[in-house]
């Protein structure tokens, strides 16, 4: 029995359907990310789980209890928002204590719990400060502590890191992950940052236009994107127009590539998808499959790697983006206008229906 | 979408627990307040304005018992035709018109009659009145001679537009429309450039004493609009110091109205334009200078367009204030009639409520239009505000700064001159004849108008208004801004809260007479009490307070409520622990705004005070009316000092509260 079950959740705002028949099961202690571009329905879905906006249709079950129609106060969750939403007139300690009060807990117990949480998020000596006196990262940790204080069964994070600097974001990402593992609290995080989702989640729910596009582990999502949308949204992808020649072979312009063609018949028009980092340039020999001669038409220095645009005689006007690590560039003496032998491993190529990308 | 799995639609559960019921109860209670204290009374004004009273003698028959037999009944109309009697002296009948039947049927004709039989043939009844008893439809009364002598005919009421026809056909009434537009328009044309110049000097020059000038500009807010009228009478009246400046024209009339209105509307225009000018973006000026635009060209192409919505908004606010004000024309209007004064004259002077209602409706139209334009303009201005701008820091420019200082000094002298004049007149035995110092003008108990009791009543009234009003306004704004769900209910509530701005005080006051003085209204017991004064004043100044509260609430994170709910805390706890403390400065602003306005307002309360609840501002009016001008000035200045005191108290308490509960604001 899953800890949280969403059955057929639909949310309409007037004629607009923000979430369209979403079904999902989340296990206890799991860290799940809702990933998608803005307007894909991920925040709406989160708010429905929290009871802040009610779904138009469908059921939500938490720990076997139907919470579909319960107001937020009667559900069991803690929530952290992008804006932190810390109460400005309460100290850090009072903020964390806020959810512990009014429950019949003795004062001493509350003080202990607040100290415990301050320690947990590494702000032991900041309890008497006001939120405005803390940095953004510290504020977000207070918000996290406040949400965790009543020991909720479910932690909801709504773009918690988006308002922070890149460095702090990276650091806090790991901290949230560690904290979640330590407390084993079931967590759902909404984000539009694919890197964040890939690094932090046990499973990712990629959403698009109110529907679940793909559900899987970060590696599955990245390596086997179920749809062109996922392929394009997570990581970078070359989409090339092509045709299936025969089983196991597709043609792009004049170049015939070996690739899995399951689900397509010879003569079908397809979109051939190749990730820039999957194109091989080292140790390409006469036996390497899908090998062809290419020319470097443009280079883009991106720090840890070089993104180059290559063309080939057999590709005609089609261009392909290839990511090359800096030491590779150094070793192979790659430069603008130069030629090189490249290959695409067949198992790294994916075919989608035509028109994608 | 028939393929969708069958799933029951989810009912939005909001009312499951006490907390939700509390919220809903609150919305309904505050809505009920606005409906009872605003919407229903206003409706009665419309109803009254189409209510026409007419004698219907054809619906009453009289039969004589003479010489042992009943003679055939005749209608009163037949008698009137025969005798040529003129009902109500030929005047339009009003609600209170009465005719004695013995006046209609001549004494000669009644000779030897022992008994009378009168019959009310109307469908509504009530045509006949005897000792407070009304006839029922079709009822027959048999009366002895003595009773018949006391019998009176009442007019019947109809719904018709006759009142409007009468109004527009009566030149004396109709001319007020032109007069009102004339004085309001002229004042607007004078105040806007003055206020703009003043605000421009404060934001764009490096002249000294800016803080002082700003304080002086706001002084008129603290006095009733009657006071500048009184001051001008002293300065420019028959024995005034500066009367020769008028070159033979009379201060009583449009000149006085415009001069006094300029005084009391100045701060309102000034504040709006000041805000508009303060948000100008320095980068635009730098760009213009880099393009070598002249000072004048920059003014024309950058300054004016940036402030245009502020100017439009200020113009309509001033226009509305003047056209709805009744204090100024009452004191200094002389025989020059304006709409707001007409309502007062029709109701208080002539007891003609129907025509008073017609004038109210006529006055509501321009006020509503001006209100709508102002709202649209200020929304645009706010849109400009949200753009991230770099504040402009003025640079010294000697000639310009001196000129601006001169201009502001002139305006300041005008404002302070009127106040000083009032204070001097109050302190001297008899200005300008006997200039010995005296406190006799402060002996209010010896004058008409309510005496010192009126002053204390005003303070009590203003205090209640501030306390209760702030609570209602803030809770109402919280509901509009922060509660989830109930969208339509909240939108309707917001609309109701915006309505008072468009309703002139006189119209509000009159509507209260109609609504609360109706004996069949269960709320009738409120009439003549302190409570009705507080209720009407809160409603009168609701909109601005509501907008202040909304602005403060909008600055709070919209997720606070969600967080609090997720932490399982009831709404009231969130409200008292977070919302109220964070918004405390705004709450104090609302309270002081309500207090000051309750101290100075005349228009609505002038219809509603009773002998035990006379107010200081009304006392100013009544003493002035009775010719006790110096005491009126003295009382007006008392209001001024009280408001100054209240403001100081607010400033002080804000500071204390800031250090004690707002420590989080100081980084």
pLDDT in tens, B142-190: 999 899 999 999 998 888 898 899 899 989 889 999 999 999 999 999 9
Task: Report d(CA B513, CA B508) in Å as an integer.
Answer: 9
* DSSP 8-state secondary structure symbol assigned to residue B87: G
Question: Crossing angle for the helix pair B616-625 and B584-600, nearest 10 degrees?
Answer: 20
User: Nearest-CA residue of chain A relative to B584?
Assistant: A89
Partners of A16 in the β-ladder: A13
List of chain A residues whose C-beta atoms are within 8 Å of the C-beta of residue B19: 73
User: Nearest-CA residue of chain A relative to B576?
Assistant: A89
Question: Is the alpha carbon torsion for B486, B487, B488, B494 positive or negative?
Answer: positive
Q: In this structure, what are the phi and psi dihedrals at residue A292, rounded to the nearest 5 degrees?
A: -155, 155
Q: Is residue B494 predicted with pLDDT exceeding 90?
A: no
Computed over every residue of chain A, the mean pLDDT equals: 91
Q: Is residue B11 predicted with pLDDT exceeding 80?
A: no
Report the pLDDT value the prediction gives residue A86, as an integer from 0 to 100: 92
Shortest distance between the Cα of B648 and any Cα of chain A, in A, equals 25
- Of A54, A79, A130, nearest to B10 by CB-CB distance is A54
User: Nearest-CA residue of chain B relative to A47?
Assistant: B562
Task: Report d(CA A172, CA A161) in Å as an integer.
Answer: 8
The B-side interface with A (CB below 8 A) comprises 4-5, 7-14, 16-17, 19-20, 484, 557, 559-560, 562-570, 573, 577-578, 581-582, 661-665, 667
Report the pLDDT value the prediction gives residue B8, as an integer from 0 to 100: 41
Q: Average pLDDT of B406-435?
A: 89
The answer to whether the peptide bond before residue B35 is cis (omega within 30 degrees of 0) is: no
- Of B560, B662, B667, nearest to A85 by CB-CB distance is B560
CB contact (8 A) between residue A132 and residue B667: yes
CA dihedral B630, B636, B640, B646 (to 10 degrees): 130
- For B658, other C-beta atoms within 10 Å of its C-beta total 14
Report the pLDDT value the prediction gives residue B461, as an integer from 0 to 100: 96
Strands A350-352, B74-75: pairing is unpaired
Task: Report d(CA A124, CA B208) in Å as an integer.
Answer: 51
- Of B20, B559, B577, nearest to A85 by CB-CB distance is B559
- Of A7, A81, A102, nearest to B569 by CB-CB distance is A102
Least confident of B208-222, B347-361, B453-467: B347-361
CB contact (8 A) between residue A85 and residue B566: no
Whether the complex's predicted ipTM surpasses the cut of 0.85: no
Task: Report d(CA B348, CA B352) in Å as an integer.
Answer: 8
| pTM of the shown model | 0.84
- Confidence band for B660, pLDDT divided at 50, 70 and 90: low
Shortest distance between the Cα of A249 and any Cα of chain B, in A, equals 37
Task: Report d(CA B438, CA B316) in Å as an integer.
Answer: 43
- How many beta-carbon contacts under 8 Å exist across A and B? 117
* DSSP 8-state secondary structure symbol assigned to residue B303: I
List of chain A residues whose C-beta atoms are within 8 Å of the C-beta of residue B582: 87-89
Least confident of A189-203, B394-408, B421-435, B601-615: B421-435
Interface test mutation site (partner A, options B554, B563, B661, B663, max chain A beta carbons within 10 A)? B563
- Of B12, B559, B564, nearest to A81 by CB-CB distance is B559
- Of B13, B557, B581, nearest to A85 by CB-CB distance is B557
List of chain A residues whose C-beta atoms are within 8 Å of the C-beta of residue B661: 89
Question: Is the alpha carbon torsion for A352, A357, B1, B4 positive or negative?
Answer: positive
Least Cα distance to B527 among B413, B605, B410 occurs for B605
- Confidence band for B382, pLDDT divided at 50, 70 and 90: low
List of chain A residues whose C-beta atoms are within 8 Å of the C-beta of residue B667: 132-133
Strands A57-62, A65-66: pairing is antiparallel
Task: Report d(CA B139, CA B121) in Å as an integer.
Answer: 8
Interface test mutation site (partner A, options B4, B16, B567, max chain A beta carbons within 10 A)? B567
3-state helix, strand, coil in chain A (%, to 5): 30, 35, 35
Task: Report d(CA B401, CA B209) in Å as an integer.
Answer: 12
Q: Average pLDDT of A1-22?
A: 91
Task: Report d(CA B555, CA B549) in Å as an integer.
Answer: 10
Radius of gyration of chain A (CA): 25
User: Nearest-CA residue of chain B relative to A91?
Assistant: B664
Instruction: Tell me the percentage of chain A whose pLDDT exceeds 90.
Output: 64
Could you give the count of Cα atoms lying within 13 Å of B229 in the half-sphere of its Cβ?
A: 25
Q: Is residue B550 predicted with pLDDT exceeding 50?
A: yes
Instruction: Tell me the percentage of chain B whose pLDDT exceeds 90.
Output: 46
List of chain B residues whose C-beta atoms are within 8 Å of the C-beta of residue A77: 566
Report the pLDDT value the prediction gives residue B383, as an integer from 0 to 100: 59
List of chain A residues whose C-beta atoms are within 8 Å of the C-beta of residue B559: 81, 83, 85
Shortest distance between the Cα of A54 and any Cα of chain B, in A, equals 6
Report the pLDDT value the prediction gives residue B392, as an integer from 0 to 100: 77
- For B378, other C-beta atoms within 10 Å of its C-beta total 21
Computed over every residue of chain B, the mean pLDDT equals: 87
- Confidence band for B328, pLDDT divided at 50, 70 and 90: very high
CB A157 within 8 A of CB A196: no
List of chain A residues whose C-beta atoms are within 8 Å of the C-beta of residue B484: 52-53
Which residue pairs from B91-94 have beta carbons closer than 8 angstroms and sit at least 24 positions apart in sequence?
Answer: B92/B53, B92/B166, B93/B53, B93/B54, B93/B55, B93/B155, B94/B53, B94/B155, B94/B351, B94/B352, B94/B353, B94/B354
Shortest distance between the Cα of B564 and any Cα of chain A, in A, equals 7
B530 Cα distance to chain centroid? 17
- Of A8, A57, A71, nearest to B16 by CB-CB distance is A71
Report the pLDDT value the prediction gives residue A166, as an integer from 0 to 100: 85
Task: Report d(CA B63, CA B69) in Å as an integer.
Answer: 10
Report the pLDDT value the prediction gives residue B384, as an integer from 0 to 100: 58
Which residues does A6 contact at the CB level (< 8 Å), separation at least 6?
Answer: A22, A23, A24, A25, A45, A49, A58, A59, A60
Q: Is residue A164 predicted with pLDDT exceeding 90?
A: no
Task: Report d(CA A50, CA B128) in Å as an integer.
Answer: 70
* DSSP 8-state secondary structure symbol assigned to residue B390: P
CB contact (8 A) between residue B4 and residue A50: no
Task: Report d(CA B38, CA B511) in Å as an integer.
Answer: 8
CB contact (8 A) between residue A132 and residue B573: no
3-state helix, strand, coil in chain B (%, to 5): 70, 10, 25
Interface test mutation site (partner A, options B561, B566, B664, max chain A beta carbons within 10 A)? B566
- Of A7, A10, A99, nearest to B569 by CB-CB distance is A99
Least Cα distance to A180 among A159, A203, A160, A200 occurs for A200
Which of the two residues, B410 and A13, has the higher pLDDT score? Answer: B410
- Of A51, A88, A99, nearest to B567 by CB-CB distance is A99
Report the pLDDT value the prediction gives residue B228, as an integer from 0 to 100: 94
Q: Which two tokens stand for residue A181?
A: 């593992």
Q: Is residue A340 predicted with pLDDT exceeding 80?
A: yes
Maximum distance among all alpha carbons in chain A? 78
Shortest distance between the Cα of A269 and any Cα of chain B, in A, equals 30
- Confidence band for B2, pLDDT divided at 50, 70 and 90: very low
Task: Report d(CA A29, CA A182) in Å as an integer.
Answer: 10
CB contact (8 A) between residue A71 and residue B14: yes
What would the DSSP string read from start to end of B524-583? GGGTTSHHHHHHHHHHHTHHHHHHHHHHHHHTS-TTHHHHHHHTT--HHHHIIIIIHHHT
- Of A59, A72, A149, nearest to B562 by CB-CB distance is A72
Which of the two residues, B318 and B489, has the higher pLDDT score? Answer: B318
pLDDT tens digits, residue range A90-115? Answer: 999 999 999 998 888 899 999 999 99
Report the pLDDT value the prediction gives residue B1, as an integer from 0 to 100: 33
Shortest distance between the Cα of A98 and any Cα of chain B, in A, equals 8
Q: Is residue A118 predicted with pLDDT exceeding 90?
A: yes
Question: Crossing angle for the helix pair B629-661 and B451-482, nearest 10 degrees?
Answer: 40
C-alpha distance from residue B455 to each of B309, B484, B539, B618 (Å): 40, 44, 22, 10
Q: Average pLDDT of A261-286?
A: 90
- Confidence band for B16, pLDDT divided at 50, 70 and 90: very low
List of chain A residues whose C-beta atoms are within 8 Å of the C-beta of residue B16: 70-71, 74
Starting at the edge strand that comes first in sequence, how are the strands of the sheet with A154-158 ordered? Answer: A78-81, A154-158, A186-191, A31-35, A203-208, A211-216
Instruction: Tell me the percentage of chain B whose pLDDT exceeds 70.
Output: 94
C-alpha distance from residue B454 to each of A348, B102, B220, B626 (Å): 91, 46, 22, 16
pLDDT tens digits, residue range B242-295? Answer: 878 877 788 899 999 999 999 999 999 999 899 888 877 777 888 888 888 888
């Amino acid at each position: 029995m899953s800890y949280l079950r969403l059955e057929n959740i639909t949310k309409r705002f007037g004629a607009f359907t923000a979430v369209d028949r979403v079904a999902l099961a989340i296990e206890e202690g799991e860290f799940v990310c809702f990933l998608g571009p803005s307007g894909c329905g991920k925040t709406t879905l989160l708010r429905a789980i929290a009871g802040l906006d009610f779904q138009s249709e469908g059921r939500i079950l938490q720990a076997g209890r139907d919470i579909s129609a319960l107001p937020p106060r009667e559900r069991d969750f803690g929530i952290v928002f992008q804006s932190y939403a810390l109460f400005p007139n309460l100290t850090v300690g009072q903020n964390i204590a806020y959810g512990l009060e009014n429950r019949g807990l003795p004062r001493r117990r509350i003080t202990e719990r607040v100290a415990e949480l301050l320690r947990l998020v590494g702000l032991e000596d900041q309890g008497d400060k006001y939120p405005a006196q803390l940095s953004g990262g510290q504020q977000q940790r207070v918000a996290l502590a406040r949400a965790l204080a009543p020991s909720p069964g479910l932690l909801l994070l709504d773009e918690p890191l988006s308002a922070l600097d890149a460095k702090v974001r990276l650091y806090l990402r790991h901290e949230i992950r560690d904290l979640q593992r330590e407390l084993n609290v079931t967590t759902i995080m909404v984000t539009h940052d694919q890197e964040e989702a890939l690094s932090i989640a046990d499973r990712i729910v990629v959403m698009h236009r109110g529907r679940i596009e793909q559900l899987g582990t970060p590696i599955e999502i990245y390596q086997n994107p179920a749809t062109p949308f996922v392929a394009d949204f997570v990581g970078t992808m070359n989409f090339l127009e092509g045709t299936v020649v025969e089983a196991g072979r597709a043609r792009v312009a004049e170049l015939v590539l070996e690739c899995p063609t399951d689900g397509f018949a010879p003569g079908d028009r397809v979109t051939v998808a190749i990730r820039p980092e999957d194109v091989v340039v080292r140790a390409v020999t006469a036996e390497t499959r899908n090998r062809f001669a290419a020319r470097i038409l443009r280079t883009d220095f991106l720090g840890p790697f070089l993104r180059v645009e290559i063309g080939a005689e057999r590709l005609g006007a089609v261009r392909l983006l290839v990511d090359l690590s800096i030491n590779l560039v150094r070793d192979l003496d790659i430069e603008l206008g130069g030629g090189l032998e490249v290959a695409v491993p067949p198992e790294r190529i994916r075919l989608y229906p035509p028109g994608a990308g | 979408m028939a393929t969708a799995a069958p799933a029951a639609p989810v009912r939005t559960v909001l009312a499951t627990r006490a907390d939700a019921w509390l919220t809903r109860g609150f919305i309904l209670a505050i809505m009920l307040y606005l409906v009872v204290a605003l919407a229903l009374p206003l409706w009665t004004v419309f109803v009254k304005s189409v209510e026409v009273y007419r004698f219907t003698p054809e619906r009453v028959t009289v039969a004589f018992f003479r010489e042992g037999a009943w003679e055939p009944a005749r209608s009163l109309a037949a008698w009137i035709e025969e005798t040529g009697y003129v009902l109500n002296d030929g005047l339009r009948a009003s609600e209170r018109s009465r005719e004695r039947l013995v006046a209609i049927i001549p004494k000669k004709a009644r000779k030897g009659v022992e008994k009378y039989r009168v019959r009310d043939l109307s469908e509504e009844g009530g045509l006949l009145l005897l000792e407070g008893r009304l006839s029922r439809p079709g009822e027959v009364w048999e009366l002895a001679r003595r009773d018949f002598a006391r019998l009176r005919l009442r007019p019947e009421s109809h719904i018709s537009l006759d009142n409007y026809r009468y109004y527009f056909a009566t030149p004396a009434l109709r001319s007020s429309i032109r007069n009102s537009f004339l004085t309001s328009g002229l004042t607007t044309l004078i105040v806007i450039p003055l206020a703009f110049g003043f605000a421009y000097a404060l934001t764009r020059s490096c002249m000294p004493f800016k803080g002082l000038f700003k304080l002086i500009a706001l002084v008129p807010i603290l006095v009733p609009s009657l006071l500048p009228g009184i001051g001008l009478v002293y300065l420019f009246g028959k024995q005034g110091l500066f009367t020769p400046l008028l070159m033979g024209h009379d201060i009583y009339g449009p000149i006085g109205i415009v001069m006094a209105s300029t005084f009391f509307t100045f701060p309102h225009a000034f504040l709006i334009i000041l805000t508009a000018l303060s948000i100008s973006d320095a980068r635009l000026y730098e760009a213009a200078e880099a393009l070598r635009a002249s000072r004048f060209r920059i003014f024309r192409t950058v300054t004016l367009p940036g402030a245009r919505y502020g100017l439009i908004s200020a113009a309509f606010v001033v226009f509305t204030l003047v056209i709805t004000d009744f204090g100024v024309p009452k004191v200094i209007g002389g025989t020059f009639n304006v709409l707001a004064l007409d309502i007062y004259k029709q109701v208080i002077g002539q007891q003609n409520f129907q025509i008073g209602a017609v004038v109210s409706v006529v006055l509501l139209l321009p006020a509503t239009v001006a209100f709508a334009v102002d709202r649209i303009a200020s929304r645009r201005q706010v849109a400009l505000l949200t753009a991230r701008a770099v504040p402009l820091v003025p640079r010294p420019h000697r000639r310009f700064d001196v000129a601006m200082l001169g201009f502001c000094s002139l305006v300041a002298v005008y404002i302070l001159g009127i106040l000083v004049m009032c204070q001097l007149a109050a302190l001297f035995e008899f200005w300008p004849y006997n200039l010995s110092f005296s406190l006799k003008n402060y002996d209010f108990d010896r004058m008409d108008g309510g005496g010192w009791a009126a002053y204390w009543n005003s303070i009590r009234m203003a205090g209640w208004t501030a306390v209760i009003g702030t609570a209602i306004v803030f809770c109402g704004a919280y509901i509009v801004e922060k509660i989830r769900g109930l969208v339509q209910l909240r939108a309707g509530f917001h609309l109701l809260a915006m309505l008072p701005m468009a309703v002139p005080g006189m119209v509000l006051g009159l509507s209260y007479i109609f609504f609360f003085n109706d004996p069949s209204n269960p709320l009738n017991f409120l009439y003549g009490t302190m409570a009705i004064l507080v209720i009407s004043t809160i409603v009168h100044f609701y909109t601005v307070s509501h907008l202040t509260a909304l602005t403060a609430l909008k600055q709070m994170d919209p997720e606070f409520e969600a967080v609090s709910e997720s932490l399982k805390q009831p709404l009231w706890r969130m409200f008292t622990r977070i919302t109220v403390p964070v918004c405390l400065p705004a709450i104090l602003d609302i309270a002081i705004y309500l207090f000051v306005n309750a101290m100075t307002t005349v228009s609505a309360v002038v219809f509603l005070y009773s002998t035990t609840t006379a107010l200081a501002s009304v006392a100013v009016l009544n003493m002035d009316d009775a010719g006790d001008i110096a005491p009126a000035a003295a009382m007006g200045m008392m209001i001024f000092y009280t408001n100054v005191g209240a403001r100081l108290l607010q400033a002080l308490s804000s500071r204390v509260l800031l250090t004690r509960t707002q420590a989080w604001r100081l980084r």
